[in-house]
Amino acid sequence: EIVMTQSPATLSVSPGERATLSCRASQSVSSNLAWYQQKPGQAPRLLIYAASTRATGIPARFSGSGSGTEFTLTISSLQSEDFAVYYCQQYNTWPRDTFGQGTKLEIK
């Protein structure tokens, strides 16, 4: 099983600043990586797929990069609605998809 490790576990950032979240895979997943946002009491929402492609309706301040084992989600200028938990997911070994443990993005 591919293990996905996210860092940091919690990230404190002020509104308007940039946030950078990391995700590392225990072996290469090529570009088969997605990012999801989850707010309390809600289902996850797809933000990024194929490592760097924004899903429909996702604002341009969200961007993804990386390939192989190292990936990054960047939020360029944090808005109040962006404070949430973010998960990465690899689907290179479908159907044995795996999720990272999540990064909580909180207001500084």
Partner 1 sequence: EVQLVESGGGLVQPGGSLRLSCAASGFSIRSYAMHWVRQAPGKGLEHVSAISSDGGSTYYGNSVKGRFTISRDNTKNTLYLQMGSLRVDDMAVYYCAGGVGGSYSNWGQGTLVTVSS
Which part of the chain contacts partner 1 (CB under 8 A), choosing from 10-18, 67-75, 76-84, 92-100? 92-100
> Does the footprint of partner 1 cover residue 44 (CB under 8 A)?
yes
- Report which of 50, 26, 18, 34 is spatially closest to residue 86, judged by C-alpha positions: 34
16 or 95: CB nearest partner 1: 95
The rounded distance, in Å, linking the Cα atoms of 69 and 44 is 23
Considering only residues 19 to 38 of the shown chain, the ones binding partner 1 according to CB under 8 A are 32, 34, 36, 38
3-state SS of the chain: helix, strand, coil percent to 5? 5, 50, 50
Of the candidates 12, 50, 70, 77, which one interacts with partner 1 according to CB under 8 A?
50
